[in-house]
């Protein structure tokens, strides 16, 4: 029977939308290892990032001490168009699974970009405009980030150059079309428009591309713009997790109003933006001894940075022009299989999340894509939302946790993040429904090629 004390959906009133972002690093016992300069391998200072990032974003990137950062009013104004986002109790899914567990999900797909990415895109576009820049450059994999950034740049009157991973560019033409609606200029990566793109194509002319390739091109386009543009990134970086913390803050407040607290928090993991944003306040509780939720990162078996990667310093891009970060990585030369249908394609993981995982504060699991789409279809039938393939990884993880509760009889509270909708991913859904979807997991030998490319610095010795 439906628990009538708890609604299916809880929308916080607009006035309860958080007015500050939460910096998870402020609660960590130890800070993530510093970024290193690609030429000297020395720790970077904030000013070293100014040629690449907006100055305020560079400050947020390096600030590990400030717990709460005010959200500028122009950013709040845009947020209020689609936030607070709903917290939903998955009653129908619970019944279908026959589980005593209570399942909640935070839905971030109720905006034109179709995902949580707009939370950081709006902030980064605002800071670029405030600094007097004419535009920004970026990369995108499945397309959610490129869409969100194009939307945000259009709102603030900035140009937006998007380098889109070639296989996604070809598989998802309608994502490209939406970016173009918002005046985004979309280029398949690697391309011949940049020096690094031409070099990659000379070495591997048939490459399907990767986020690492696209990052290299976007960074080059920014630093050769004569100071008119800066590079922005939709995941991995500390600044992005800061902006995405609004997801977790809203979720925590909504669950408090319901008298609930999650025993298990599940999020999909590619570069870490959604996962880091969702878990931020709950991880802080765990670190500070206030509560002890299990936190589970779910990643694709075809790009298993946490479950099979190395904790090492690595370049954040394939062209090796960006700073080095210490993170779980498959090597900057790693390119996921082209038949991997969703996003979550990045070769590394957020330095914040990597450190937390390395120190045992969170878990990780990897799934083949057919199991992910099986969960996505079940969820769609029960909850009436067609999930993005990225989100479906979290759904798969939450379902498996709920099934464990069915076996044990435990009435645990499970929370997961539904990052967005899958309406631009119908080719993948068709493949799954037709039974032609294939699963691919890189062999140890294939992964070793990426590990062999890790930079030769002391912290990486003995891996």
Residue 2: per-residue pLDDT: 47
Rg (CA), the chain: 20
Domain boundaries, the chain: 9-18+83-114+238-460, 20-69+119-231
Share of the chain above pLDDT 70, in %: 98
CA distance 202 to 200: 5
Tokens 């173009």 identify what position?
180
In a 3-state reduction of DSSP, which class is residue 38? coil
The C-alpha atoms of residue 221 and residue 18 are separated, in whole angstroms, by 35
Q: In angstroms, rounded to a whole number, what is the distance separating the alpha carbons of residues 36 and 323?
A: 5
Q: What is the CATH number of domain 20-69+119-231?
A: 3.40.50.1100
What residues contact 178, with CB distance under 8 A and at least 6 apart? Answer: 112, 143, 147, 150, 424
Residue 100 burial (C-beta neighbours within 10 Å; 0-12, 13-18, 19+): middle
Q: What CA–CA distance (Å, rounded) separates 36 from 127?
A: 24
**Whole-number pLDDT of residue 321:** 82
Distances (CA, A) of 207 to 213, 303, 315, 317, 366: 10, 16, 19, 15, 25
**Closest of 300, 248, 304 to residue 273, by C-alpha:** 248
Q: Are strands 9-10 and 363-367 parallel, antiparallel or unpaired?
A: unpaired
pLDDT number for residue 3? 52
Instruction: For strands 294-300 and 159-165, give the pairing.
Output: unpaired
Task: Say whether the peptide bond before residue 84 is cis (omega within 30 degrees of 0).
Answer: yes
User: pLDDT for 410-439, tens place per residue?
Assistant: 999 999 999 999 998 898 999 999 999 999
- Specify the CATH number for 9-18+83-114+238-460; select among 3.40.50.1100, 3.30.1360.70, 3.40.50.300, 3.20.20.140: 3.40.50.1100
List pLDDT tens digits, range 254-269. Answer: 999 999 999 999 999 9
The pLDDT of residue 345 is 81
Q: Is the peptide bond preceding residue 190 cis, with omega within 30 degrees of 0? A: yes
Whole-angstrom distance, CA of residue 149 vs CA of residue 158: 10
Q: What is the pLDDT of residue 212?
A: 83
- Mean pLDDT per 10-residue segment, the chain (463 residues): 70 96 98 94 95 96 98 98 97 98 96 93 98 96 91 98 92 90 96 93 90 90 93 95 98 97 97 96 98 98 96 90 94 83 85 98 97 98 96 98 98 96 91 94 94 88 70
Cα–Cα distances in Å, from 90 out to 218, 266, 349, 383, 399? 40, 14, 29, 7, 11
CA gap 39, 18 in Å, rounded: 40
Helix (H), strand (E), coil (C) string for 256-269: HHHCCCCCEEEEEC
Q: Do domains 9-18+83-114+238-460 and 20-69+119-231 have the same CATH topology?
A: yes
Q: What is the DSSP letter of 292?
A: -
């Amino acid at each position: 029977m439906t628990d009538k004390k708890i609604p299916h959906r809880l929308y916080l009133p607009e006035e309860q939308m958080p007015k500050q972002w939460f910096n998870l690093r402020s609660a960590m016992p130890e800070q993530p290892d510093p970024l290193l300069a690609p030429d000297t391998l020395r720790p970077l200072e904030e000013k070293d990032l100014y040629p690449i990032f907006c100055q305020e974003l560079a400050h947020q990137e390096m600030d590990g001490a400030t717990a709460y950062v005010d959200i500028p009013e122009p950013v709040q104004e845009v947020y209020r168009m689609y936030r607070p986002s709903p917290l939903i109790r998955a009653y129908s899914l619970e019944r279908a699974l026959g589980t005593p567990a209570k399942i909640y999900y935070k839905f971030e797909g109720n905006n034109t970009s179709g995902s949580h990415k707009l939370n950081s895109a709006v902030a980064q576009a605002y800071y670029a405009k405030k600094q007097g820049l004419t535009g920004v450059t970026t990369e995108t994999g499945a397309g959610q980030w490129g869409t969100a950034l194009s939307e945000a740049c259009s709102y603030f009157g900035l140009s937006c150059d998007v380098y889109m991973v070639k296989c996604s560019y070809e598989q998802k033409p309608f994502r490209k079309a939406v970016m173009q609606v918002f005046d985004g200029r979309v280029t398949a990566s690697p391309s011949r428009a940049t020096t690094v793109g031409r070099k990659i194509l000379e070495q591997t002319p048939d490459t399907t591309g990767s986020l690492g390739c696209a990052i290299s091109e976007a960074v080059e386009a920014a630093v050769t713009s004569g100071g008119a543009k800066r590079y922005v990134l939709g995941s991995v970086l500390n600044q992005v997790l800061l902006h995405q913390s609004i997801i977790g803050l809203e979720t925590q407040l909504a669950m408090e109003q319901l008298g609930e607290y999650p025993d298990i928090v599940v999020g999909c993991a590619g570069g870490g933006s959604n996962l880091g944003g969702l878990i931020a306040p709950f991880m802080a509780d765990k670190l500070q001894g206030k509560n002890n939720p299990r936190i589970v990162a779910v990643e694709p078996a075809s790009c298993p940075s946490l479950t099979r990667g190395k904790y090492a310093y690595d370049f954040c891009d394939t062209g090796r022009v960006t700073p080095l970060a210490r993170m779980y990585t498959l090597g900057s030369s790693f390119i996921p299989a082209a038949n991997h249908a969703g996003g979550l394609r990045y070769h590394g993981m957020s330095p914040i999340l990597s450190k937390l995982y390395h120190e045992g504060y969170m878990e990780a699991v990897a799934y083949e894509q057919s199991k992910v789409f099986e969960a996505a279809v079940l969820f769609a039938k029960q909850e009436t939302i067609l999930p993005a393939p990225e989100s479906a990884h979290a759904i798969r993880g939450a379902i498996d946790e709920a099934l464990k509760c069915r076996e044990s009889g435990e009435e645990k509270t499970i929370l997961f993040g539904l990052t967005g909708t899958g309406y631009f991913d119908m080719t993948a859904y068709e493949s799954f429904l037709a039974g032609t979807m294939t699963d691919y997991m890189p062999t140890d030998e294939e992964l070793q090629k990426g590990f062999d490319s890790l930079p030769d610095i002391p912290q990486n010795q003995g891996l």
